[in-house]
């Protein structure tokens, strides 16, 4: 389960960054050309993705 959390978080982070760069969501973090904003968005999406996979795997394991 630990590997699944890491891989899912690592995959969702860049996807969140791509969503941030596409301007589909109105997210304003720093300036447009700042690396800190890009890292913050990737971290937030990766963290949220990791939490999602933990809850999904936890609920699947609780039913058995």
pLDDT tens per residue, range 14-30: 887 787 778 787 767 66
Tokens found for residue 25: 């969501």
Buried b (16+ CB within 10 A) or exposed e, 7-43: ebbeebbeebbeebeeeeeeeeeeeeeeeebbebbbe
pTM of the shown model? 0.61
**Cα(59)–Cα(64) distance, integer angstroms:** 9
**Cα(5)–Cα(18) distance, integer angstroms:** 20
pLDDT tens per residue, range 35-47: 777 778 778 888 8
């Amino acid at each position: 389960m630990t590997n699944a959390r890491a891989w899912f978080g690592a995959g969702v982070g860049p996807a969140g960054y791509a969503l941030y760069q596409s301007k589909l969501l109105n997210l304003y973090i720093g300036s447009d050309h700042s690396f800190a904003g890009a890292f913050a968005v990737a971290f937030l999406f990766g963290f949220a993705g990791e939490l999602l996979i933990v809850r999904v795997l936890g609920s699947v394991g609780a039913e058995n």
